[in-house]
Amino acid sequence: MYTIALVGNPNSGKTTLFNVLTGSNQHVGNWPGVTVEKKEGSFKHKGAIYNVVDLPGTYSLGAYSEDELIARDFVIKGSPDVVINVVDASNIDRNLYLTTQLLEMGANVVVALNMMDEATNKKIEVDIQELSKDLGVPVIPTVAAKKSGIEDLIEGTINAITNRSNNVEFSYGPSIDENVNRIADVLKGMGFNYPVKWLALKALEGDKEILSLIDKKEGIGDILESTKSDGIDYELDIVDKRYSFINSIIKKGVKKPTEEIVTLTDKIDKILTSRLLGLPIFGLIMYLVFQLTFLVGSDFLGGYVETFIGFIGELIASGLESISAPDWVISFLIEGAIGGVGAVLVFVPLIMVLYFFLAILEDTGYMSRAAYIMDGIMRAVGLHGKTFISMIVGFGCNVPGIMATRTLENKKDRMIAILINPFMSCGARLPIYLVFIAAFFPDHGGLALFIIYAVGIAFALLFGKIFSKTLFKGESSHFIMELPPYRMPKAPVVLRDMWEKVWDFVKRAGTVIFAVVTILWILSVFPLGVEPYSQDSLLGKIGEFIAPLFAPAGFGSWQASVSLFAGIAAKEAVVAILGMVYAGVSEGTELVTAIQAAFTPLSAVSFLVMTLLYTPCAAVIATVKKETNSYKWAIFMAVYPFILAWVMAVLVFQVGSLLGF
Amino acid sequence: MLINVLKQIKEARVYSKPLIARNLNVSEEVLEDMVAQLVRMGYIKEDLGSPTCESKCAGCSISSCNTIPIKMLSLTPKGEEKVKLS
């Protein structure tokens, strides 16, 4: 019985070929000592039985992964009669690295040039004879999925068993060749199961598995030691030679359609990422996104959720009254739960539309460009360009935004990125902005929202600059960003992305916000006997205690104060509490009317500045503690934005008042 | 070839596969493979700007907040040293 091993890159059609060759004669087990699946099968041809082993899909035969080790160990120690190297013809350039390594190992290789149909579709022409000549092994075109070329492959493979043809002699340059031969000469006769030249090559490449096998052998250690001082980077140079070999083969035997020298992406990028126009265009795009958000989310969709929540509220209230439920139950459910959580949920349409447009920008590839444009600005103010990636993530939620700073290797860069991230307006702050915009700036919603986000970025840059000049000095490392080609956004991707974010928002409203609302509702009805949601309740007393602090900023009411206080638990709670504490008022337009009565346009702006900049939520502070492993920085994170926000809010209100607003 | 990839990554403003592949006279697929090799060999660091969490994304309440896969490449100290010596 003969053994045939199947080796190939993942997705090269290797397993399909295995199934075609073996049909139902196959069984699955595990490779010894590991959990990697081992598939074996057999087929009969002209009376002889051929055992086929499907090796794990791998891109190379180094020692970087379990799959690579299993594949290469079997090719060498398993002594297969033939190794069928399944190569994806439509992606031949990438697949030939593995082929090159198999040839180096001296394996008896037959190349199954698979997926020829896809290669043809991509207008890739492969000169089979030329390829076979250059590789020094048979190359047989197949389409395993259509069972095409299988007979030829079987014949070619059986023929290779008796007529071995791997005769390619690799040269890695005089110095490397010389050392390969020196080591191979020493290894000869030591009884290894491996080809000695391959062992020598892998040892020079620094392959840990091979080194552990041979470097204790007499004479080997000295040769390897002597190579360390000859100025050659063996690992890099050997891999480099493989690519040169592949490149020369591709140039001779593979024809691809001529790619445009200047692609459409290049043309678009010339404008969208230009030094002069890039930033204004980015600003304009974001402005349009916010405008469209208000147009679609507020004008077209705005009323439905509000009406629905109102309807549910009335339904529950009448149901509870009909069963003579206690007053406190009605109060909790209607004013607390529905009034509070509902106040947050009415903004779902707007949030949904905003995330829809942002998802489109992401899916087209524009967000990479935005990060690239901002990268230049970040560097100009002394920040690491990667900081903006964590800032973009922070627009969704500051917790992953801060966690995304882990990609910054330098502690200085990372600390700055962490400390400025909360200035990015997370999704939880959106309802605050939206309710105040609806109350005071309904005709300029998009512009107002754009300004709020832009002010947040401006403060992040300003404080990044300040921190890089004071607390964290030092140089930032260089990196480059990939700009993927532009593509048409795909509806399923965009909708899924939008849905995930909106669902997160709804889930938080139903869990975290509900919990916060419950606690604050209890505080608002105790001590028993006081008017619920009044200044005499515990909540009112807390608000009253804090309120003088905010009086210079123009919103010194106990309701506003207590909502800001609740916002430290979770930012959505600000609107939820406003919805609850304006007793009798709940969500949507009623809350908007109540806010119009409680604030002036100037104090509303001041309140927005406060909520944009002040202490991030408890989850963010806890994340800062975890990421910096320091209570000091967690406290700093809680305190410095509060002081900054208070100063800015007071400035806005006092200067605005002086100017007569 | 590989040293030129390192140099391009050190000097380029962006990682544009078509552009760098053209500069190096290789196909985009070979370039992609060479970059993957250089990452594995420790000359290049590649990241997606994502939080590197201990926990898996499934079941995480904030998993959907990070969906912008922006690939970034930088030379490691080993890569920097190689370019410096070349």
Residues A451 and A563 in one domain: yes
Do A220 and A302 fall into the same domain?
no
Helix (H) or strand (E) holding B46: strand B44-47
The yes-or-no verdict on residue A5 having pLDDT over 90 is yes
B-facing residues of A in 473-532 (CB < 8 A) are 477-485, 497, 500-501, 503-504, 507-508
**What pLDDT, on the 0 to 100 scale, is given for residue A459?**
95
What average pLDDT does range A641-660 have in this prediction?
95
**Residue A385 pLDDT class (50, 70, 90 cuts):** confident
* Model confidence at A92: pLDDT above 60: yes
The mean pLDDT value for A59-85 works out to 87
- Chain A residue with CA closest to B20: the answer is A482
Higher-confidence residue of B67 and A149: namely A149
**Residues A537 and A409 occupy one common structural domain:** yes
- pLDDT given at position A561: 92
Of A162, A188, A220, the one marking the end of a domain is A162
Tokens found for residue A589: 């337009």
- For residue B58, pLDDT beyond 70: no
Binding-face residues of B in 24-43 toward A, CB within 8 A? 25-27, 29-30, 32-34, 36-37, 40-41, 43
Q: Do A93 and B29 touch (CB under 8 A)?
A: yes
User: Which residues of A are less than 8 Å from B40 in CB distance?
Assistant: 62, 64
Q: Are residues A245 and A295 in the same domain?
A: no
CB contact under 8 A, A404 and B15: no
Whether residue A633 is contained in a domain is answered as yes
The verdict on a CB contact (< 8 Å) between A480 and B12 is yes
Confirm or reject contact between B81 and chain A (CB < 8 A): no
pLDDT digits (tens, 9 = 90+) for A217-227: 777 777 777 88
From chain B, the residues in CB contact with A397 under 8 A are 62, 65
Residue with the larger pLDDT of the pair A314 and A143: A143
Percent of chain A exceeding pLDDT 90 equals 29
Rounded to 10 degrees, the C-alpha dihedral A552/A557/A561/A564 comes to -90
Least confident of A96-110, A197-211, A390-404: A390-404
Residues A465 and A559 both lie in one domain: yes
Among A195, A221, A255, give the residue marking a domain's end. Answer: A255
* pLDDT on residue A154: 93
Q: How far apart are CA A433 and CA A653, in angstroms?
A: 17
Pairing mode, strands B14-15 and B44-47: unpaired
Tell whether A111 and A182 lie within a shared domain. no
The reported pLDDT for the residue numbered A610 is: 96
ipTM (interface pTM): 0.81
Q: What confidence category does residue B61 fall into, taking pLDDT thresholds of 50, 70 and 90?
A: low
Domain assignment present for A545: yes
- pLDDT over threshold 80, residue A585: no
- Per-residue confidence band for A322, with pLDDT thresholds at 50, 70 and 90: confident
Q: Does position A301 have pLDDT exceeding 60, yes or no?
A: no
Spatial contact of A160 and A110, defined as CB atoms under 8 Å apart: yes
Q: Averaged over A394-414, what is the pLDDT? A: 80
What CATH number does residue A237 fall under?
Answer: 1.10.287.1770
Residue A635 pLDDT grade (very low, low, confident, very high; cuts 50, 70, 90):
very high
Look at the block and give the residue holding tokens 């004479």. A219
Smallest Cβ distance to A393: which of B19, B66, B82? B66
* Assigned domain for A272 exists: no
Mean pLDDT score, A76-98: 91
List the single residue in A94, A259, A406 with the smallest CB-CB distance to B32.
A94
Of all residues in chain A, what percent carry a pLDDT higher than 70? 95
Residues A102 and A184 in one domain: no
Instruction: Give the integer Cα–Cα distance in Å for A152 and A84.
Output: 13
Query: Positive or negative, the Cα torsion across A129, A131, A137, A140?
Result: negative
Confidence (pLDDT) at A54: 92
What was the pLDDT predicted at A114?
93
pLDDT at A280: 93
The answer to whether A593 contacts chain B (CB < 8 Å) is no
- Would the CB atoms of A400 and B62 count as touching at under 8 Å? yes
- Mark yes or no for CB contact A407/B32 under 8 Å: no
Q: Are residues A601 and A634 in the same domain?
A: yes
Selected residue with higher pLDDT from A404 and A518: A518
Q: pLDDT band for position B57 (50/70/90)?
A: low
A612: burial class by Cβ within 10 Å (0-12, 13-18, 19+)?
buried
Question: Within a domain: residue A264?
Answer: no
pTM of the model: 0.69
Residue A271 lies in a domain: no
Same domain, A308 and A287: yes
Q: Quick one: residue A79, left, alpha or beta (phi over 0 = left, psi -120 to 50 = alpha)?
A: left
pLDDT at A548: 94
Q: Domain span at residue A210?
A: 174-255
The number of helix segments (H) and strand segments (E) in chain A equals 32, 10
- First vs last C-alpha separation in chain A: 94
Q: Which of A53-62, A179-188, A559-568, A641-650 is predicted most confidently?
A: A641-650
- Residue A136 placed within a domain: yes
Higher pLDDT, A247 or A263: A247
Residue closest to A617 by CA, chosen among A477, A484, A516? A516
- On the question of pLDDT at A421 being above 90, the answer is yes
Query: Domains in chain A: how many in total?
Result: 3
Q: How many Å lie between the alpha carbon of A387 and the closest alpha carbon of chain B? A: 9
pLDDT value of position A62: 80
Question: At which of A127, A162, A197 does a domain end?
Answer: A162
Q: pLDDT-derived band of residue A650, with 50, 70 and 90 as boundaries?
A: very high
CA-only gyration radius of chain A, Å: 34
Asked whether residue A593 carries a pLDDT value surpassing 90, the answer given is no
Query: Average pLDDT, whole number, for chain A?
Result: 85
- Give the residue among A235, A231, A203 at the shortest CA–CA distance from A219: A203
The CATH number for A68's domain is 3.40.50.300
Pair A148, A187 in one domain: no
